Chains A and B, each alone.
Chain A
Amino acid sequence: MTSHVTPDSALRGVGGDGDQNGPRHSPHTAAATSSPPATDATALAATPASATAAASNSAQKFAQKSARGSASGPAKTRRPRIRYNRTESRWGYAFVAPALILFAIMGVYTIGYGLALSFARWNGFSPNWEWVGFQNFTDLLFGSKTYAPRVQAAALNTLWVCIAVPVLTIAVSFPLAIILNSAKRFQGILRSVYFVPYVTTGIAVYLAWQYILEPNGAINGLLRVLGLGSLTQPQGFLGNPDTALPTLIIVLVWSAVPVAMLLYLTGLQSLDTSVFEAATLDGAGWWRTNTSIVWPLLRATTGIVFLLNLRDALQGFQIFLIMTNGGPGNHTNVLGLETYRLAFLSELSPTLGLASALGWMLFLAALAIALINQRLEKRAQ
């Protein structure tokens, strides 16, 4: 693990642009920013976990590139005026145009629309929006008798998921990566096998889980065979309000372990082996080496894994929609699912503004977590 850059350096980092020859990009800054792990860019990236990793990586490449550029670039105070070649500029705009047009329609417009809608009351059919200011937000948080209790219950469930999924994912993937790293043969094929839950994540796999979690499904059967009959669930694991949420958490961890394991594995393989030799000479055993040396050295990776899963847990809801649809009795309702229900499953009630407001609150929560984490990391330095 080497590269984690603050988001603004990621944003500053396009190579070769005129307003970008920022003198702050010395190789030193590139190196310095690489140590605080898991910044906003990592915390909030788009869906596939890889996106995040990729983002932080390329961000660093950009930073380095700019760094190289600035070494030969002009002095600190003067903002250079780049002379843009007219033909080259035209080609530039032409190359960006398709992406930009699509982005203007599907990105800018929809984000703006969603933001505006969060301040309005609308049922999706009436011709006009009724502007209500921040009332959607206050209704969701405490104002409304109908929605506030549901949102609070969903928030509690979300909190459980947000704590349990990252922690359990780390608890499984870190030892797994260490053990996999010590395997010389079959490492590649095992890594691929472990990856299957991640690449197949989706409705097909969730239905398979549903099938084996049925009252007379394979998991209950397995427990009986193992002599753990007392743990079987006669109503099925998803039918019992007490076990439904923990079960979904386990399935979420199962799909999250592959990427976390890969990140740890990469981190392990980039560690300097002389550290281990020194530790061994000092008499540290296997357990001690891993807990006192490897674990602290891979703290940056742990930060990334934690934040990635925290963000997914906060905003993701597909598994809840498919496997339980919030049931039994709203025991597995989470905030993402509540947003979805308000937006698409509330018939003619004017809840679209509420849905939008809840979505933006989730966004703000994720942002806040990322910022707090960044602070803590900085302080820990």
Chain B
Amino acid sequence: MVDLAPAPSARKAPASSPYTPKPWYTRLFNLSGKTVVGLVLGLYAVVSLYPFAYMVSAAFKTTEEVNAGNNLIPANPTLDTLIDTWNRLHFFDYFLNSLWVTGATTLGVIVIYSCAAYAFSVLRFRGKTLLFRLFLVLLFVPGVVTLLPVVMLENEMGILGTHLGLILPFINGSAPLAILLLTNAFNAVPGDLREAARVDGAGELRIFSRIYLPLARPALITIALLTAIPTWNEYQLTRVSLNDPTRYTLPIALQSLQQGDTVQYNTLMAAALIVVIPIIILFFSLQRYFVNGLVGAVKG
């Protein structure tokens, strides 16, 4: 996409100024480096957003118009498709289902694994390392291997096809990442704080909830995001567990729309937009935590 073919002539040419190397293409096209940088970056922004532009475009078209052609700007933009999808096609219900599954999973991950991470980081007890390793092993097993056993197990437990049957495996699936990041965050809390609190008579629960959790807030938000976004989009397990349309989450509702008799792309794209918009809002409002979490994680 970014054309960086070597320019042999420019290779050994000395840079025009000793401290700021100018890109070789500057001399080729007689453009300022800034312009070229801007063009390339702008082009890739277009590439990144291209499918979304058409998603939005189709969602605001009528059925006739979406079948007629693929011009980006709808001639008569209409909200009817979106409203229709939201109400008549029950996407409001699916939205609530998705919200519940994602919310419960995220909350579960935060509660369960912040406790576990506190124990792994702060408390001393026999077998701690073994347990910690056990959780890390989960990182190494591919999801497709456990998909079938999870379905079989839930069938026997009688929770297959329920939201609980999705939430429990989702929570467990986030365990390695959540435990690693949160143990890491708790390790950064000075141990003196805990000692001081203990001298003041605070118990473990109090120290955990009043000192450690507030201090690890950025890590908690990062984990919440890294759990919520994949859960919101989850498709593979959901597809093989849910049968009852009233329990559908958004990705599965979207899939069932696609499998209807004729694919109406304006409806489909309106539904896709409903799936994507919350994630984009979430990402842009909390991206500091998202990107910093990723960057921090890599930088160490």
Contacts and interface: CB of A to CB of B under 8 A. Distances in A.
Nearest to B272: A204
B143 A11 contact: no
Identify the interface centre among B1, B6, B133, B168: most chain A CB within 10 Å of its CB. Answer: B1
A175 B124 CA distance: 48
A46 B177 contact: yes
Contacts of A88: 123-125, 204
A53 B169 CA distance: 23
A20 B129 contact: yes
A107 B131 CA distance: 13
B295 A111 contact: no
Contact of B54 (A44, A204, A208): A208
A2 B7 contact: no
Interface in A192-247: 192-197, 199-205, 207-209, 211-212, 214, 216-218, 221
B100 interface: no
A318 B179 CA distance: 26
Contacts of A221: 70
Interface stretch (A92-100, A131-139, A372-380): A92-100
B75 to A, nearest CB: 16
Contact of A96 (B116, B180, B284): B116
Interface in B92-123: 111-113, 115-116, 118-123
Contacts of A108: 134
B269 A211 contact: yes
Given A107-B138, A360-B145, A200 B276 contact: yes
A105 B12 CA distance: 63
B236 interface: yes
Interface in B192-245: 204, 208, 226, 229-230, 232-236, 240
A58 B276 contact: no
Contacts of B146: 107, 110-111, 114
A246 B297 CA distance: 33
Contacts of A283: 12, 14-15
A317 interface: yes
A46 B54 contact: no
A18 interface: yes
Contacts of B10: 285, 287
B177 A193 contact: no
A269 B293 CA distance: 16
Contacts of B24: 285-287
A379 to B, nearest CB: 24
Given A95-B119, A106-B169, A1 B298 contact: yes
A46 B70 contact: no
Contacts of B116: 95-96, 98-100
Given A14-B132, A98-B112, A195-B291, A61 B187 contact: yes
Contacts of B11: 285, 287-288
A111 B145 contact: yes
Interface residues of B, number: 128
Given A95-B116, A211-B269, A194 B45 contact: yes
Given A96-B131, A175-B4, A179-B2, A285 B144 contact: no
A275 interface: no
A363 B115 contact: no
B280 A196 contact: yes
B199 to A, nearest CB: 15
Given A60-B300, A196-B52, A359-B142, A190 B45 contact: yes
Contact of B297 (A58, A202, A281, A318): A58
Contacts of B54: 208, 211-212, 218
A238 to B, nearest CB: 13
A35 interface: no
Contacts of A110: 146, 149-150, 153
Given A172-B2, A176-B2, A287-B7, A197 B254 contact: no
B48 A359 contact: no
A10 interface: yes
A280 B22 CA distance: 10
6 shortest interchain CB distances as A-B pairs: A202-B233, A3-B300, A92-B125, A95-B119, A110-B149, A54-B297
21 contacts: A1-B298, A2-B299, A41-B139, A57-B297, A58-B180, A95-B123, A103-B175, A114-B148, A192-B284, A192-B291, A194-B48, A205-B276, A217-B70, A266-B295, A285-B12, A287-B11, A315-B142, A343-B144, A344-B240, A362-B144, A363-B141
Given A45-B139, A88-B123, 13 more contacts: A16-B122, A47-B143, A61-B300, A106-B169, A113-B153, A195-B287, A196-B280, A202-B234, A208-B272, A212-B51, A266-B298, A286-B22, A363-B145
Interface of B: 1-2, 4, 6-7, 10-15, 18-24, 33, 37-38, 40-41, 44-45, 47-52, 54-55, 58, 69-70, 72, 111-113, 115-116, 118-126, 128-129, 131-136, 138-150, 152-153, 168-169, 171-177, 179-181, 183-184, 187, 204, 208, 226, 229-230, 232-236, 240, 250-251, 254-255, 258, 265, 268-269, 271-273, 275-276, 279-280, 283-284, 287, 290-291, 293-300
